[in-house]
Chain A
Amino acid sequence: MKLTADTIAHAFVDSVASLSEVEIPALVDAVAQLLIAHGLYKDARTFPSLLERVWQKKEGIVQVRLTSVSGDAGPSKEQILAIVRDTLKRPCILEERADPAMLGGLLLTVGDERFDVSLRGALKTLSQRITQPVTLLS
């Protein structure tokens, strides 16, 4: 069986629950050596975020990502988080991101689902409608 970053991340998350805090650094070192030993250099950079995803999945935590132009969605972010938590009835973690290219509006990602109410998204839809193939009557 080929060892991948994903299987190492799952193994790490499974093991870390049974370890004390002092043992965790040694486990991190062991994981880093394992990645290097299997030539997974490219995955080393993204490994922390992979760990986070695996951990959240294991704990049943839903990641709610809210992207806005400024990176601060204001008072509505708490409302959004509360609605998602109440609807899904699962623990949620909110992550805010800034994307000036959005022009305005919000982009909400709940797990694998995306709710795009950004102006950039609206412009993209408009652009797709304009460039749709046109049938000409001859």
Chain B
Amino acid sequence: MELLAKLGINWQLLSAQIVNFLIVLGVLGAFVYKPFLRLLDDRIERIRKSAEDARRIENQAAEMDAMKLAEMKKLDAESGAYFDRVRKQVEVLQTEILTNAKKEADALLQGALKRIDEERSSMMQEVLATVNKVVITMTEKLIRREFTSADQERIAKDLVADLPKIVR
């Protein structure tokens, strides 16, 4: 005590201040520090949850992106196969149409050629018939004018000469 007195410290005052300090510490500990810590913990927990939610949402978004990409790839593949199939069908159809068209064109061409041949042949026959008629008519007129009894006798003689060879 004496030492404290020599140092100029009033132990009573010091004790009172210590008691005051302890009281203030108790009060602050009970009414301020603990709620504050709890508030801090709550906030930290909320932030952690928010971070977790954000991470989960981010993961979900990434999963969704991956799924979307997979779906897109699948759709792309399916549509590719579909378009391939459609293209092949179109090619087959195109070939069939071309073949049929060629066949029809060939048939038309053959028909036309046949008709042309028939018409040409018919025309030729008509020309020949006309030529024949003219030639025969003219020859007949010529014969009527030029044929004499001497010619008739010559024919008869030739027949007599040839008859033994032809009669059996």
Q: Which of B120, B125, B143, B159 contacts A131 (CB 8 A)?
A: B125
Please indicate which of the listed interface residues B128, B157, B164, B167 has the most CB atoms of chain A within 10 Å of its own CB.
Answer: B167
Given contact pairs A87-B167, A105-B152, A76 touches B147 in the complex (Cβ within 8 A): no
A17 located at the interface, meaning its Cβ lies under 8 Å from any Cβ of chain B in the complex: no
Q: Give every chain A residue within 8 A of B132 (Cβ-Cβ).
A: 127, 130-131
Q: Is the interface of B mostly helix, strand, loop or mixed?
A: helix
A74 located at the interface, meaning its Cβ lies under 8 Å from any Cβ of chain B in the complex: yes
- Spot the interface stretch: B68-76, B86-94, B104-112, B134-142: B134-142
Given contact pairs A87-B168, A130-B132, A131-B129, A123 touches B139 in the complex (Cβ within 8 A): yes
Chain B: minimal CB distance from A5 (Å): 30
Chain A: minimal CB distance from B122 (Å): 11
Beyond A88-B167, A133-B125, 12 additional pairs, beta carbon < 8 A: A76-B153, A80-B163, A106-B156, A113-B167, A115-B163, A117-B155, A127-B132, A127-B135, A130-B136, A131-B132, A134-B124, A134-B128
Residues of A whose CB lies within 8 Å of any CB of B are: 68-69, 73-74, 76, 79-80, 83-84, 87-88, 103-106, 108, 110, 113, 115, 117, 119, 123, 126-127, 130-131, 133-134, 136, 138
- Complex A-B: 10 CB contacts under 8 Å: A68-B152, A80-B159, A83-B163, A88-B167, A103-B143, A106-B155, A108-B159, A110-B167, A127-B136, A130-B128
